[in-house]
């Protein structure tokens, strides 16, 4: 899209009478929470014998099956069976958190652009762009990704990674898929910065950042993201870190990418900011706000 077309698209979204966060449930075929097949069958059987359905029974069964599948490995096995059917990379809870955190910095005019470090097919970046446009603000949303998938993990990522993160190359998406996602929702297509974070971020990030979504899954990717993004964050800016899980705070959280927390622990030693874990349903993530 050319610049005039980009502005026209942004203005059309801003002029749309739809308001609020409902769009986070409409995009990507999100459907209201469905019970898993185990819940449904279990509850049906309970009802048959005249017992009020006890969801916890079926959920406990789900958890056992999930644990078993995790032990067996594989991409499916890394996701809880009872997880909500919602997009591929962003569940409903994460989108709601993302919505409110970005909304804060836009409403309070924290200066700077919005960046996503690890965009994959662009699910989460479409959410960010929709909200920027609805605020009627012309902030840039540069996206950074190898578009060749994840790099090879390091020792810091642990030995029990989900299959798609084990060998490098998992989660590769094409630039066209990302562009197509933005067009589908009538949004301006952002600048896509292709390359490894260690090569692109230091020279291609904007000087001032109001909101950053770090979603690189692995220790090195998150550490590089923090090193490059942190000094550019405006006071009051928010940085949301996907997959951050602190089992001491959230023992039931999704903790399959432990390198993310390791990178954060290392980076924040001696820094004044605190990482705040967020409830994210079957997933995990956390944020910090840049101090003045």
Ligand X SMILES: C[S@@+](CC[C@H](N)C(=O)[O-])C[C@H]1O[C@@H](n2cnc3c(N)ncnc32)[C@H](O)[C@@H]1O
For residue 58, the minimal CB distance to ligand X (Å) is: 29
Exposed/middle/buried for residue 202 (C-beta within 10 Å: 0-12, 13-18, 19+): exposed
Give CA 244 to chain center in angstroms.
10
Q: Which is nearer to ligand X, 86 or 89 (CB)?
A: 89
Q: Which is nearer to ligand X, 39 or 220 (CB)?
A: 220
- Any idea what DSSP says for residue 81? T
H or E segment to which residue 233 belongs: strand 233-242
For residue 55, the minimal CB distance to ligand X (Å) is: 28
Q: Could you give the CA distance from residue 198 to residue 189 in angstroms, rounded to a whole number?
A: 24
For residue 174, the minimal CB distance to ligand X (Å) is: 11
Q: Which residue is nearest to ligand X (CB)?
A: 118
What dihedral angle (degrees, nearest 10) is formed by the CA atoms of 242, 246, 252, 256?
60
Q: How many residues does the chain have?
A: 292
Q: Could you give the CA distance from residue 279 to residue 128 in angstroms, rounded to a whole number?
A: 19
Backbone angles phi, psi at 197, to 5 degrees: -55, -40
Q: Which is nearer to ligand X, 114 or 173 (CB)?
A: 173
Q: Which is nearer to ligand X, 94 or 290 (CB)?
A: 94
Q: Which is nearer to ligand X, 28 or 38 (CB)?
A: 28
Helix, coil or strand: residue 235: strand
Spatial CA neighbour of 258 closest among 97, 78, 12: 78
CA distances from 140 to 191, 229, 239, 274 (A): 8, 15, 16, 27
H or E segment to which residue 277 belongs: strand 276-278
Q: Which is nearer to ligand X, 66 or 89 (CB)?
A: 89
Q: Which is nearer to ligand X, 53 or 195 (CB)?
A: 195
Residues 6+ apart with CB under 8 A from 210: 105, 106, 110, 111, 112, 113, 114, 139, 233, 234, 237, 238
For residue 18, the minimal CB distance to ligand X (Å) is: 22
For residue 97, the minimal CB distance to ligand X (Å) is: 12
> What residues make contact with ligand X under the rule CB under 6 A?
89-90, 116, 118-120, 123-124, 145-146, 149-151, 171, 173, 196-197, 215-218, 221
For residue 268, the minimal CB distance to ligand X (Å) is: 20
For residue 270, the minimal CB distance to ligand X (Å) is: 25
């Amino acid at each position: 899209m050319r610049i005039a077309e980009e502005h026209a698209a942004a203005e059309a979204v801003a002029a749309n009478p739809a308001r609020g966060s409902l769009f986070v449930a409409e995009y990507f075929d999100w459907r209201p929470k469905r019970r898993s097949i185990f819940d449904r069958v279990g509850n049906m059987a309970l009802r048959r014998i005249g017992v009020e359905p006890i969801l916890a029974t079926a959920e406990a069964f789900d958890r056992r099956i999930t644990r078993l599948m995790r032990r067996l490995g594989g991409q499916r096995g890394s996701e809880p069976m009872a997880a909500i059917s919602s997009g591929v990379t962003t569940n409903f809870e994460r989108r709601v958190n993302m919505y409110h955190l970005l909304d804060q910095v836009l409403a309070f005019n924290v200066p700077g652009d919005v960046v996503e470090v690890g965009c994959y097919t662009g699910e989460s970046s479409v959410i960010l762009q929709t909200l920027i446009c609805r605020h009627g603000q012309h902030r840039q949303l540069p996206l950074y990704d190898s578009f060749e998938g994840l790099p090879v993990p390091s020792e810091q990522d642990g030995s029990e990674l989900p299959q798609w993160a084990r060998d490098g190359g998992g989660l590769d998406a094409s630039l066209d898929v990302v562009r197509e996602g933005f067009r589908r929702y009538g949004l301006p297509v952002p600048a896509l910065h292709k390359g490894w974070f260690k090569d692109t971020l230091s020279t291609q990030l904007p000087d001032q950042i109001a909101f950053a979504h770090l979603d690189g899954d692995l220790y090195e990717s998150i550490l590089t993201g923090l090193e490059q993004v942190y000094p550019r964050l405006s006071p009051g800016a928010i940085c949301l870190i996907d997959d951050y899980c602190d089992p001491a705070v959230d023992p039931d959280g999704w903790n399959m990418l432990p390198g993310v927390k390791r990178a954060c622990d290392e980076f924040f030693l001696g820094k004044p900011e605190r990482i705040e874990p967020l409830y994210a349903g079957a997933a995990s993530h956390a944020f910090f706000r840049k101090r003045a």
